[in-house]
Amino acid sequence: MSFCYVTEHPVEISQSEIEIRHFFKHLISTLCNQKWKIIEQITDWSKTLIHQIQEHVNDQRKLLERVYEQKVSYFDSIRDQFLQRALVFEQQHDTAQMQQLINQCNALKSDIAFLVYNERPITSIQLVTEEQLLQTCIEQKTADKESQTENPNTNLGLVNAEQDTRSSRIDHHDFDSNTSVQEVLIERCPLCYMIFPKSMNIGDRNVHINEHYQDD
């Protein structure tokens, strides 16, 4: 039994109250640790993406410098040729050829390159709460029941087989009391898109994902 002093009068605190307070304190502490772990994962994802973008930027800049040097070298060569021809035309007083040479100069294009914006898939992350996950499972289960009601002659085995092949969503048959929310969420690697085998626990899946960041 413990006592809590309020306005100098001891208030008795039962053992059950102490245990309950301790439980919720531990629960909040666990939530805090999970929060910072997720923040660290988001930060790592951001750093990886920024690193990939910066590498692409550097590659494009190097390519631009190469193209620029090639263009400059080409124009230097053409300029020398035109100057030699212009000298000959002047000595010959050939105004027609000289004008044609000037027109050829004006026809030269000074464009170095163009930028083309290509759409590329980017691995994104999104925070999903347990409530949202459960709601998705409930909605999917309801939709499946309605589908079976509308099509009573549909072979149930065929329906289940088709559902098992849908790797892009969470099958509510796999979501039972023995499956954690995080295990359901991490069905595949967000970086290399490898589908994790069911025998691979959540710790091994996190190790696999973190190895991508270490490789960078």
Is residue 98's pLDDT more than 70?
A: yes
pLDDT at 76: 94
> pLDDT class for 199, splitting at 50, 70, 90?
confident
Is residue 193's pLDDT more than 70?
A: no
**Residue at 169 is within a domain:** yes
Is residue 143's pLDDT more than 70?
A: yes
> pLDDT class for 215, splitting at 50, 70, 90?
low
pLDDT at 174: 44
pLDDT at 165: 44
| Residues 82 and 101: beta-carbon distance below 8 Å | yes
pLDDT at 213: 62
CA distance 103 to 95: 12
Domain that holds residue 214: 127-136+165-216
**Residue at 203 is within a domain:** yes
Write the CB contacts of 173 (distance below 8 Å, at least 6 apart in sequence).
Answer: 160, 163
CA distance 168 to 188: 10
Is residue 30's pLDDT more than 90?
A: yes
pLDDT at 112: 82
**Residue at 204 is within a domain:** yes
3-class SS shares of the chain: helix, strand, coil, % to 5: 65, 5, 30
| Residues 87 and 57: beta-carbon distance below 8 Å | no
Is residue 205's pLDDT more than 50?
A: yes
**Domain count of the fold of the chain:** 1
**Residue at 25 is within a domain:** no
Sign of CA dihedral 129, 143, 195, 183: positive
Q: pTM, whole model, 2 decimals?
A: 0.50
| Residues 29 and 36: beta-carbon distance below 8 Å | no
**Residue at 188 is within a domain:** yes
Q: For all residues of the chain together, what is the average pLDDT?
A: 77
Which of 22-36, 137-151, 159-173 bottoms out in mean pLDDT, i.e. has the lowest? 159-173
Q: CB atoms < 10 A from the CB of 23, how many? A: 10
pLDDT at 4: 52
* Percent of the chain at pLDDT exceeding 90: 40
Is residue 158's pLDDT more than 50?
A: no
**Residue at 83 is within a domain:** no
Is residue 123's pLDDT more than 60?
A: yes
**Residue at 64 is within a domain:** no
Q: What is the mean pLDDT of residues 194-200?
A: 77
**Residue at 17 is within a domain:** no
